[in-house]
Structure 1
C-alpha cells in the first residue's frame, strides 16, 4: 500500500467526541507505533487506512480553548477558537468531517461553524456522534438544519457505524496525487523541526543562497518552500517547512496551518531531515516530529544544529551524539550529524547521509534469504506458548511498498507478541541494517494447508 495521500480534518465544538473519533479511526496505526521503545507523544494526527486508501487524519482538538464558559470573556474565547478551527480546515484539508453531538442537539455554535465550512467550498461529511442507542427522530431530523446533506449517525466510543462514516469520507477524497515528474535519481527531502532551530538556515546553506526567510523569530517560515539542487549523484528536492510547535503553546491558526503543511511535505518526501537545537538539547517535541516521519514510513536524518554554541568539552564528548541517537532509538541506526548551518560546518554531510538512508529505504531482501534468516531466528529463540498455543511462521516476504514492510504468514497473528515482533525486527536489521528507516512487520493468518499449497 502506498504512502498516505489526502488530509481529513475532524472539526467541531468542544466535547462532541473529536478526539475519540480520531483515536477510533487511526487506532490501528497508533498501536503499531506505540510498541516502539521511547515513542510517546501527544498526537495531533494519525494515518488511517480504509478500502485500500491511506490518508492523514488531523484532530483539531488542540484548538479548543480549555476551561469553562461561565463568563463572557471565556465564551468569546470559545467561539473564536472554534471559528479558527473551521477556517484552518478550509485552508488545508481535502475533506472536512464536522462532528456534532446528537444527544445535546444542534447549538448556535454548530450552526456558525457549519456556515463557515459551507462558504469554504470543501467537501464536508456531517457526523452525528454519541448515537450509542436509537436516536430520537427529532434530534436526527434537526441535523439537516445545518445544510450539509444527510448525516452519518455514529458512536465514536463504541465504533457503531464508523465504517459508514469512513465510506463517505473516502468517497469524498480526491484521487491520490500522481508522482511528480522528477528524475529517477532525485532525492526528496523534507526539512522539519520545531520553530527557530535553523531549518531555513540549513536550507540556505545547502542551496548556497537565500531561498527562505531567515529570522530568529519562531514560525517566520509560514509556508513550504521547495528548492531543487543539481548534484553529480542526482537531483535533490528540498522542502522547508515552518516548525511543528508543541501542542500546548500553539495559539494561532497560522501555526496549525504550518503543521499541516509539514505533514503534507513529509507525505511527498523520501527522507525527513530533522533539525534539532544543540543549545537547548533534545526535547519531547523533537521525538514527536521524528515519530511523525516514522508513522509515514519515511527515512530519518537528525541534524544537531548550532553545534558551535556548545562549549568545547561538550562538543568533544563522544557521549553527546550517542545521547542524541538514543533519543531516537525507535528508528535504529539513524544518522546524527553535528554541525552549524550558519558557518557551514558538516552541512555537506547532510545530503550524503540522506541519500544513504534513501538507499536503505529502497533495499529489497530476497525472499529465500529472508525466510532462512527468520527460520534461524525462530530456532535460536522459539516463541513462547500463549494459552497453550505457539506462533508458527510458514513463510515471509517483503511487500511491494514504499517503505520496508515484511509480511509474516503465521497460524494466528494474535500469537505474535510485540516483544517477539521486535526480536524478529532486530534479527532482520542485523543482516540488512535499514539504518534510519522504520521497518514494519505485518502478520497475516495462513493455515498449514494454504502454506503447503502456495
Structure 2
C-alpha cells in the first residue's frame, strides 16, 4: 500500500494550495475565504520515484461558532488515524495561533510525529518568521511558499526520505475500480448515501443544503469488486448560484462527470422529479456517462404515494433523452435497497464498455436499412457503405455514407434503437457518427478529408515513387 500523508492546520493557512502543488492538479478548491475545505479530500502524489496518497482536511477549529467545527474536527481525527505521515501547516505571516497549539497537543496525544510546514514564506529574508514557531516544540520547521514553490523541493525530499520506491513491496495490482459519480441537487442525500455504503461517517452530513463543496473520492468493496464513489457538490439552478465558492463547486461537480463511467443521479423521492433534476441528468448525458436514477428518501414518501410505476413514468416523461437509464428507489438513511445499487452499476458498466465486431455491426446496419430505408435526398438514395465501432465507454459507432449531413434525426434514432435491440444494450448510452467516404464529395459540395491512416499510406506511396524515379 502507498503511504498516506495527511495535511492538517487551521483555516486559511494554505493546505489546499499545497495539496494542489503536491498532486500537480487543481483538485482542491482554493479561496481566500476560511473554511472552504470541510471533508477529507484524497489525491495521488509523486515525488521523484516515490508515490503516496495525500489527504487534505478541513480547517481545524477547537471551538468556534461555525456549526461545522465539530464535524471538521472529527474528520481531522479520522484522517490522523489513517495517516502514516502528518504535515502540520501553519501561517508564517500571521504567526502562532492557539488553534496551532491545540493541534500540536492533539497530534502528541495520538502519538503522531509530524512535519511542521511554515507556509507563506516567499524567500530567505522572510525566514526570520520561523523563530516564532520553535515555541511549538518542533525540531525543524520548514519554510515554504505553497503558491510560488519556494522551499518546496527541500520539504518534499525530507517528507519522502523514508518512503519506498515505486515497485517495492507491491503485489499483483487489481483491476481499476468502476468510477461512480453521485450527482444531484443540494440536500438530495449524496453524502448520506456514501456514508451508508462505507459504513462510517466519511462525509460531513447536515440538513443545511450545500454542505459538500469539493468532489471527494471514496473506495468501496462489495461482492469482490471495487467501486470508486465520487461525492460531488449539489448542482443548483444557475440563478441560485450566488457565492463565488459555489460556482467553483458546480464546475468541479461537472468535471467529476467527465472522469466517471456511471453517474448516480439522486432525486428526492418526497419532492418528485424537478426541472433541476432533469438538468443535472442532462449534464451526465452530455458527457456520455452511464446513468442510473436513484430516488432517495423513499422512507419519507407517504404509503399512499409509494407508486414506483408512477415515478418511473414521470422520469421517462421529463427526461426522454435518458429513456435507457434504470430507476431505483432507496433510503440512504435506513439502508433500504441500497445494496441493489451494486448489481445495477455492474450491468450498466458492462454495457458501457461493450465492444462489437465490425462484421456483426455491419450485419445489424444492413438488416436495419433493409427493413426501413432512409428517405431520399434531392431525389438520390442515401447509402451506408461501412460501419465500425470507433470507441467504447460509451459505445460509439461510425457509419460511412454518401450524404452524412442529410440524415434526419428520426432515422438516426431508429438506427440507435436497432443497435440497442440487436446487442441488448438497453441500459447504456449509444452514440452514432455519420461520415463521408474519404476523398469523396458530400451533398454540400465540400470534399471530405482522407483519414490519417489513408493519408499516411498515400504519403508513403508518393515517397516510394519519387525514389524509383530517381
Q: TM-score, normalised by structure 1?
A: 0.57
What is the match of residue 280 of structure 1? 271
| Structure 1 counterpart SS, 2:400 | strand
Corresponding residue to 1:343 among 321, 329, 334:
334
Distance in 2 between residues matched to 1:280 and 1:437, nearest whole Å: 27
CA shift at 1:183, angstroms?
3.6
Corresponding residue to 1:264 among 255, 258, 261:
255
Distance 1:359-1:239 versus aligned 2 partners, 3 A rule: same
Structure 1 vs Structure 2 CA RMSD: 2.6
- How do 1:334-373 and structure 2 match up within 5 A? 334-373=325-364
- After TM superposition, the runs of 4+ consecutive aligned structure 1 residues lying more than 6 A away are 447-451
Corresponding residue to 2:378 among 364, 387, 391:
387
Answering whether residue 310 of structure 2 is matched by residue 319 of structure 1, we say: yes
Answering whether residue 179 of structure 2 is matched by residue 194 of structure 1, we say: no
Contact 1:314 1:320 survives alignment (8 Å): no
What is the match of residue 297 of structure 1? 288
When Rg is computed on C-alpha atoms for both structures, the one with the higher figure is 2
CA deviation vs aligned residue, 1:83-138 (integer Å, no higher than 9, x gap): xxxxxxxxxxxxxxxxxxxxxxxxxxxxxxxxxxxxx99xxxxxxxxxxxxxxxxx
Distance 1:425-1:317 versus aligned 2 partners, 3 A rule: closer
| Higher mean C-alpha displacement, 309-318 vs 396-405 | 309-318
- How do 1:4-403 and structure 2 match up within 5 A? 183-316=174-307, 318-403=309-394
Distance in 1 between residues matched to 2:438 and 2:213, nearest whole Å: 53
CA deviation vs aligned residue, 1:339-374 (integer Å, no higher than 9, x gap): 111001110011221121111101112211111111
What is the match of residue 427 of structure 2? 436
Contact 2:391 2:397 survives alignment (8 Å): no
| Structure 2 counterpart SS, 1:291 | helix
Contact 1:183 1:235 survives alignment (8 Å): no
Contact 1:188 1:238 survives alignment (8 Å): yes
| Structure 2 counterpart SS, 1:399 | strand
Q: TM-score, normalised by structure 2?
A: 0.55
Higher relative contact order (CA 8 A, sep 6+): 1
Distance in 2 between residues matched to 1:233 and 1:327, nearest whole Å: 36
What is the match of residue 124 of structure 1? none
Q: Give the unaligned 5+ runs of structure 2.
A: 1-24, 27-146, 149-171, 441-449, 458-470
CA shift at 1:396, angstroms?
0.3
Answering whether residue 400 of structure 2 is matched by residue 418 of structure 1, we say: no
Contact 1:362 1:403 survives alignment (8 Å): yes
Distance in 2 between residues matched to 1:182 and 1:328, nearest whole Å: 40
Distance 1:304-1:379 versus aligned 2 partners, 3 A rule: same
| Structure 2 counterpart SS, 1:239 | strand
Answering whether residue 398 of structure 2 is matched by residue 407 of structure 1, we say: yes
